[in-house]
């Protein structure tokens, strides 16, 4: 019994994510990084560095639009054509194939899943703030058919307390469950929806101490 912890990060913090690579390495941890916005050369460079360090890559759409509302307004295929394909095409041209998709604002529905399932093996959604059962998954349920991982948000905006994060890691370790977290930029003194380095370090240290595997979504059963 030791559990799994999936740390996931969204949006596009090229500087903070690149700078955090040695920290993850120190704790033998891999994570999922999902990029929103136009995929520039700088982003490709960051993706390659993360990938070389064993991390998993995801996309997070061009304009961070809520998938259900966008599809309602513009049509289902338009979400793929306008929000996903422009990112994916640039990645593929650079020899990168992001395997996961983080739903903007954690909003999704069956139509969005059906649309994107042929392209991505896993999806990151959320379960609001910390706590609750939705961010834990029993190992027996962690099968290739399990495509959506719901994360608990980490950061000031989510009213995260370090002791709650450590307690969640303890539960994953004790009950051999897979725990998913999400946050965004990584920096010292990060505010809002972003991940303070001290909190990330405490979580990584605790998960390592408890013997949890820390993996990106590419390492989930598929």
Interface positions with Zn ion (CB under 5 A): 10-11
Smaller CB distance to Zn ion: residue 10 or 177?
10
Smaller CB distance to Zn ion: residue 11 or 13?
11
Closest residue to Zn ion, judged by C-beta, is: 10
Q: Measured from the CB of residue 126, what is the shortest distance to Zn ion in angstroms?
A: 10
Main-chain dihedrals φ then ψ at residue 178, nearest 5 degrees: -100, 120
Q: Measured from the CB of residue 184, what is the shortest distance to Zn ion in angstroms?
A: 7
Smaller CB distance to Zn ion: residue 62 or 94?
62
144 touches 117 (CB < 8 A)? no
9 touches 183 (CB < 8 A)? yes
Q: Measured from the CB of residue 155, what is the shortest distance to Zn ion in angstroms?
A: 12
Q: Measured from the CB of residue 199, what is the shortest distance to Zn ion in angstroms?
A: 18
Smaller CB distance to Zn ion: residue 33 or 136?
33
Smaller CB distance to Zn ion: residue 3 or 151?
151
Q: Measured from the CB of residue 140, what is the shortest distance to Zn ion in angstroms?
A: 30
The tokens of 121 are what?
A: 């093996």
66 touches 109 (CB < 8 A)? no
Q: What distance in Å separates the CA atoms of residue 70 and residue 159, rounded to the nearest whole number?
A: 29
Angle at which helix 197-209 crosses helix 162-175, to 10 degrees, equals 20
Among candidates 103, 158, 106, 149, which has minimal Cα distance to 130? Answer: 158
């Amino acid at each position: 019994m030791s559990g799994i912890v999936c740390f996931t990060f969204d949006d596009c913090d090229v500087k903070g994510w690149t700078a955090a690579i040695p920290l993850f390495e120190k704790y033998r941890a891999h994570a999922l990084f999902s990029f929103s916005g136009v995929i520039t050369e700088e982003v490709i460079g960051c993706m390659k560095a993360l990938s070389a360090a064993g991390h998993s890559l995801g996309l997070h759409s061009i304009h961070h639009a809520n998938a259900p509302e966008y599809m309602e307004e513009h049509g289902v295929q338009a979400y793929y054509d306008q929000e996903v394909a422009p990112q994916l095409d640039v990645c593929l041209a650079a020899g990168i194939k992001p395997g996961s998709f983080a739903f903007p604002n954690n909003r999704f529905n069956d139509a969005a899943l059906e649309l994107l399932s042929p392209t991505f093996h896993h999806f990151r959604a959320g379960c609001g703030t910390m706590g609750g059962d939705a961010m834990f998954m029993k190992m027996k349920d962690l099968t290739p058919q399990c495509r959506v991982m719901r994360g608990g948000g980490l950061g000031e905006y989510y009213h995260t307390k370090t002791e709650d994060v450590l307690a969640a890691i303890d539960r994953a370790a004790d009950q051999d469950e897979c725990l998913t977290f999400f946050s965004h930029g990584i920096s010292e003194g990060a505010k809002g929806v972003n991940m303070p380095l001290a909190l990330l370090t405490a979580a990584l240290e605790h998960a390592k101490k408890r013997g949890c595997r820390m993996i990106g979504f590419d390492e989930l059963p598929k």
